[in-house]
Each structure stands twice: as structure tokens, then as C-alpha cells.
Amino acid sequence: MTIGLPGPSGPPVARAPETVTLGAHLAGCLQRLRAAAGYPVTGIEDMRALHELLGAAGSLPLGGQPASASFVSDDHTPAELSVSFPGGGVPSVRVLVEPGCVAPTLAESARVGRRAVERLAERWGCSTGPLRLVEDLFLPPAPRGRFALWCALELRCGGTPGIKVYLDPLARGPEGAAAAVGEALGRLGHGRAWPALLESAASRPGDELMFFSVDLGDWAAPRVKVYVAHRGISAEGAGHIARLACGGGRPGVARFCREAAGTGMFDRRPLVSCFSFTGRDAARPTAHTVHVPVRDYVRDDREARDRAAALLLRRGVPAAPLDRALAAMTSRDLGGGVGLISYLSLVQADGAEPRLTVYLSPEAYRVRAPRTSG
């Protein structure tokens, strides 16, 4: 039995399979999640890509300490899965990995991550051009941020995954973050939208640029994305910020935040906005996503599941696929811990139905005990 680290409010919850490797645990989660979402049984290419991204971390046993202090997931599992539920459509599965998580320095982590992305792009015949255009801004010789490079795969039924690369705006320190993001957007053809975004969505004292992301490979419309964390914001404040994207009117963002979190004030873990850019030279972002860190605003995962199910139902999506996804991730009682469901997000894009995504922690090292108060 692995003894978990103490939860924020209550005793640690022990978890079992310490003879299993991190790679096997994550492959099991991903394979089951694919099946739950209706992907074909053979996902050989998806599994191979997962192992490639995990690299050396994949063969470490789960018992004992996490492979690194990765903040992809709360318990330092260097991976997170998510399922997106388009109204009326089939769910899609994604997996996010920190490829260089066991490297001794961020500089080495950057090299490991960069090589992993290059190998996938080569195998799938896609260009790393957008990454090459901006990497000097986020992968300096001695990075100072919280991570070097994360890579996510959006799995496709019967096709190669889409690749998303995440970089740290703080790589040159907090004082260089806005300049790095502005310069990167400019190089990728989205500079026109930056001044307004910076002023209205990233200039409050509680705002922090969190990720800069580029899509590589096979996408209908590859995106460039800027993520901003908003500490101490209200649901209405988040709704106001969302108006910057897609022609202005973004009804429903404030309501979504309130219903997902059960509160109108985000004084625990911050809300995160993401602005997406497609095409070139647009005056405003073409899509907006709000991420609600639901795990800090519920007692346990049962409550988080019920919130997600209610939000899905409102959009005409039944709860069964969500329940299948949760069962694919863990066999534990949902009421026995909190953090399996890390975020609930709502994306709204020009000309598309709003879409809900549920982010799932593999809980490889620890299950956080339910909140006992507040």
C-alpha cells in the first residue's frame, strides 16, 4: 500500500497498485477511456505515442515518491486525461504529458520534450513550424519557469492524433512573460489582438499568464492559444473577460462558472481563461474557454460528477458517457476522494456549439481525501 500525502483537509487516502509502473497505469487509464468513449479497440499508435511521451518516467514503479514535482496533476502524476463532450456528437479523448519530467534541469527537460515532439511529428508527417517560430522565446538556455514543455494528444478515431504543445510564459521570469507572449503572437500572425487581450484579460493584480500553446499536425484549423489564470475573480468578472472573444456576445460563461463551482467567487484555486486564435491577423480571438477548477469547490468527486452531469444534461448530453469515463479512470468510490475531476471547462467558438470538457487526474500517486470543511 502506498501511503498518500496528507490531503488539504483530512487524513490521506491510501491507494493500491504499487507493483505497476507509471506507464502501465496511464496506458490502462487511456485504453479504458478510449473504449468508454467509443474509440476502436486497437489503439496501438495512440499507446505508442503515450509511451514515447512518457519516456523514462514510464518505467518507474508507482510505489514510493512521484517521478518529479510535475504540476500537470495535483499529486505530481506527469499526465492528465480529458474527455470532451460536444452536444449531440461523440466524445473525444485527450492526454496531456510532461515528457521531460524526470530530467534533472529544466534545460534538459526542454531538450527531452522537444525531441519527443519532433519524433511524433516526423512519424505522423507533420510540421513543427509553429513551434520552431517561437521556441527561442519560451525555451531559453536556462529556463526559469515551472516547466519546459508539455505535449497533449487529441486522439482521433482511425487517424493520427492532433498534437498540442504547451510552453511556459514565465520561462524568462515573470517580468518577461507579457513580452514573450506578445512577441510569439506577433510572429505567428496574431499580434493585432494582443494589446486588447493584455489590457482586458491579463492586467488585473490577480492575473497571470499561464501557458502559450500551439497546435501541430492534422487540425481543421490549427490554433494558437494563450491561457491566463485569474486569482480572486468572480463569475461575472470571468464572463466579462470572455466577451473579448468571438464577436463579443458570450452569454452563459458566468452562469457556467457559478454552476460548475457552486459559488460566484473564486477565492481558492484560480479560474483559467484560454483565448484561441485561428486564421491570421484577426482583431480578436476566435474562441474562448473557461476552466473551472472544480476540485477546490466541492467536497468530493461525487459532487463534482453531479455538477458535470447537470451541466451536460442542460446541453442535451446524457450522463452515461461521463459515468463510463469516470469508471475507466478509477474503481474507487467517488465520495471517497476529491481531485479525480480536476477541471470542468466550457469552450465557445465562432460558429460552433458550446462544448463541455471534463479533466481527469490519473491519481497515480495519491487520492486526496474529501474536504472536511468549507
Binding site for ligand TRP (CB under 6 A): 71-73, 80, 272, 291, 293, 342-343, 359
Q: Is 245 helix (H, G, I), strand (E, B) or coil?
A: coil
Instruction: Show the cell assigned to 135.
Output: 521556441
Closer by beta carbon to ligand TRP, 73 or else 128: 73
CB of 226 to ligand TRP, least distance (A): 12
Residue with smaller CB distance to ligand TRP, 139 or 152: 152
Q: Please say whether the beta carbons of 365 and 4 come within 8 A.
A: yes
Considering the complex, state which of residue 25 and residue 164 has its C-beta at the smaller distance from ligand TRP. Answer: 164
- Cα–Cα distance between 100 and 54 in angstroms, integer? 8
Q: What is the 3-state secondary structure (H, E, C) of 85-102?
A: EECCCCCEEEEEECCCCC
Backbone angles phi, psi at 153, to 5 degrees: -115, 130
CB of 127 to ligand TRP, least distance (A): 26
Specify the residue, 55 or 78, whose C-beta has the smaller distance to ligand TRP. 78
Helix (H) or strand (E) holding 9: none
* Closest to 89 in 3D by CA, of 249, 250, 312: 312
Q: Could you tell me the CA-to-CA distances from 170 to 70, 130, 154 in Å, in that order? A: 16, 19, 25
Residue 167 Cβ, how far from ligand TRP at the closest point, in Å?
Answer: 13
Question: Least CB distance from residue 1 to ligand TRP, whole Å?
Answer: 25
266 or 359: whose CB is closer to ligand TRP? 359
How far is Cα 183 from Cα 137, in angstroms, rounded to an integer? Answer: 8
Least Å from the CB of residue 343 to ligand TRP: 5
CA atoms within 13 A on the CB side of 295: 22
Grid cell in block for residue 357: 470538457
What is the chain's percent helix, strand, coil content, to nearest 5? Answer: 35, 25, 40
Q: How far is the CB of 112 from ligand TRP (least distance, A)?
A: 19
Closest to ligand TRP by CB, 39 vs 359, is 359
What is the bridge-based pairing of β-strands 287-292 and 341-349?
antiparallel
Measured from the CB atom, the residue of 126 and 215 that comes closer to ligand TRP is 215
Minimum CB distance to ligand TRP, residue 19 (Å):
27
